[in-house]
């Protein structure tokens, strides 16, 4: 493949990926030195390589399992690097349609609430009453058209590139760990009868991991910092937003994301999934502490 893309953008202060000209990047292939974005970079013994150099180095168009191309976090490079993101968006949209069809009774059964009466003189319901599934199910519920539209657009814009950089399994682990951390902090801090719902906790986790990844790849941090500040202003300045879920997800995303992209190669999986397990352990402790307080 020629280097026309490189020559076209020589005048730019920040180079762009040779396969995706709309994406700026500060990372170059260690063999051919062409600029590559997270979706194109393949982890090599030293630095990252582009897909063409990986195939050329293997001697064939298909690498054996032992030398299969890997993402920056060690995940397997796949034909559709956004598949999990598409599935998550599909699940969220499908559940929202169920919410619209079944009404508030469905939402009240699965949203996140610590302890409350949903009907006068009815039984107490909530996580404190043993309905721990609400910590997970609330991540796939939304409160209206604007809510789900904003979250799904954010999931596509942030989640897609991050999935390509991490790989499917690591990306999915990050998504659920962040979402559950957001639910746990909401359960711990929010008033017991205050319901909350939405994918925002998980999405803020992806946002935090994206910031860590951009730092790791020496990208310009100003856009992501500006976006973070805007989101935090909205989180704390807009009424009716469960800021606890946003902060919990963001913190979990930063911690887990750091482990994903900085783990040493020889112990990569152990550190990455061990960090996920550690964050989940903290989630369990927070849930148990809050349950003990309420009961």
Q: Is 246 a catalytic residue?
A: yes
- Select from 18, 35, 69 the last residue of a domain: 69
Contact 163, 77 (CB under 8 A): no
Same domain (yes/no): 15, 130: no
Q: Is 117 a catalytic residue?
A: no
Q: What is the pLDDT along the chain (295 residues), one digit of tens a residue?
A: 444 444 344 444 678 888 888 777 878 787 787 888 877 877 665 567 788 787 776 544 444 444 567 788 888 878 888 999 999 999 999 999 999 999 888 999 999 998 887 766 678 889 999 999 999 999 999 989 999 999 999 999 999 989 988 999 999 999 999 999 999 999 999 999 889 999 999 999 999 999 999 888 887 778 778 887 887 887 777 767 788 999 999 999 999 999 999 988 888 899 999 999 999 999 999 999 999 999 8
Q: Are residues 150 and 278 in the same domain?
A: yes
pLDDT, position 65 = 43
Same domain, 105 and 206: yes
- Say whether both 198 and 105 belong to one domain: yes
Catalytic residue among 138, 178, 186, 200: 200
Residue recorded with tokens 């559709």? 80
User: Is the residue at 77 inside a domain?
Assistant: no
Range of the domain at 54: 1-69
Domain finish residue from 14, 34, 69: 69
Our count of domains for the chain comes to 2
65 and 172 assigned to the same domain: no
Q: Which residues contact 284 (CB under 8 A, 6 or more apart)?
A: none
Q: Would residue 159 count as lying in a domain?
A: yes
Examine residue 75 and state whether it is found in any structural domain, yes or no: no
By CB atoms closer than 10 A (0-12, 13-18, 19+), residue 50 is buried
Q: What is the DSSP letter of 265?
A: G
How many angstroms separate the CA atoms of 47 and 237, rounded? 42
From the list 62, 246, 262, 269, the catalytic residue is 246
CATH of the domain at 155: 1.20.1540.10
Residues 156 and 228 in one domain: yes
Tokens standing for residue 87:
């599935």
In this structure, is residue 78 part of a structural domain?
no
Q: Looking at the structure, do residues 110 and 247 belong to the same domain, yes or no?
A: yes
Of 26, 47, 69, the domain-final residue? 69
What pLDDT does 54 receive? Answer: 76
Identify whether 60 is part of a domain: yes
Residue 235 CB coordination number (10 Å) = 18
C-alpha distances (whole Å) from 261 to each of 162, 173, 183 are 11, 14, 25
Tell me: do 62 and 197 sit in the same domain: no
In a domain, 128, yes or no: yes
Same domain, 30 and 92: no
Asked if residue 10 belongs to a domain, the reply is yes
Q: b vs e for 12-41, b when ≥16 Cβ sit within 10 Å of the residue's Cβ?
A: eeebbbbbbeeebbebbbbbbebbbbbbbb
58 and 183 both lie in a single domain: no
pLDDT for the residue numbered 220: 77
For the record, the structure tokens of 110 come out as: 């699965």
Tell me the backbone φ, ψ of residue 37, rounded to 5 degrees. -90, 170
In a domain, 63, yes or no: yes
Residue 1 is predicted with a pLDDT of 43
Same-domain pairing of 126 and 11: no
Same domain, 232 and 94: yes
């Amino acid at each position: 493949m020629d280097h026309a893309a490189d020559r076209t953008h020589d005048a730019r202060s920040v180079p762009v990926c040779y396969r995706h000209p709309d994406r700026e990047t500060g990372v170059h292939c260690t063999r051919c030195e062409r600029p590559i974005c997270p979706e194109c970079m393949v982890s090599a013994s030293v630095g990252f390589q582009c897909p063409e150099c990986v195939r050329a180095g293997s001697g064939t168009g298909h690498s054996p399992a032992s030398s299969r191309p890997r993402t920056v976090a060690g995940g397997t490079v796949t034909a559709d690097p956004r598949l999990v993101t598409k599935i998550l968006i599909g699940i969220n949209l499908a559940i929202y349609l169920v919410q619209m069809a079944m009404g508030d009774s469905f939402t009240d059964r699965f949203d996140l609430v610590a302890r409350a009466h949903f009907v006068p003189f009815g039984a107490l319901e909530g996580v404190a009453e043993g309905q721990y599934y609400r910590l997970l199910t609330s991540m796939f519920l939304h409160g209206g058209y604007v809510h789900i539209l904003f979250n799904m657009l954010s999931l596509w814009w942030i989640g897609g590139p991050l999935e390509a950089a991490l790989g499917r399994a690591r990306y999915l682990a990050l998504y659920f760990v962040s979402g559950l951390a957001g639910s746990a902090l909401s359960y711990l801090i929010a008033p017991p009868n205050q319901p909350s719902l939405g994918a925002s906790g998980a999405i803020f986790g992806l946002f935090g991991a994206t910031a860590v990844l951009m730092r790791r790849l020496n990208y310009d941090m100003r856009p992501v910092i500006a976006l973070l500040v805007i989101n935090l202003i909205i989180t704390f300045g807009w009424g009716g937003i469960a800021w606890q879920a946003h902060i919990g997800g963001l913190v979990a995303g930063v911690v887990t994301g750091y482990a994903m992209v900085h783990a040493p190669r020889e112990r990569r999986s152990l550190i990455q999934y061990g960090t996920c397990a550690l964050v989940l352990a903290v989630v369990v402790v927070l849930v148990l502490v809050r349950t003990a307080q309420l009961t």
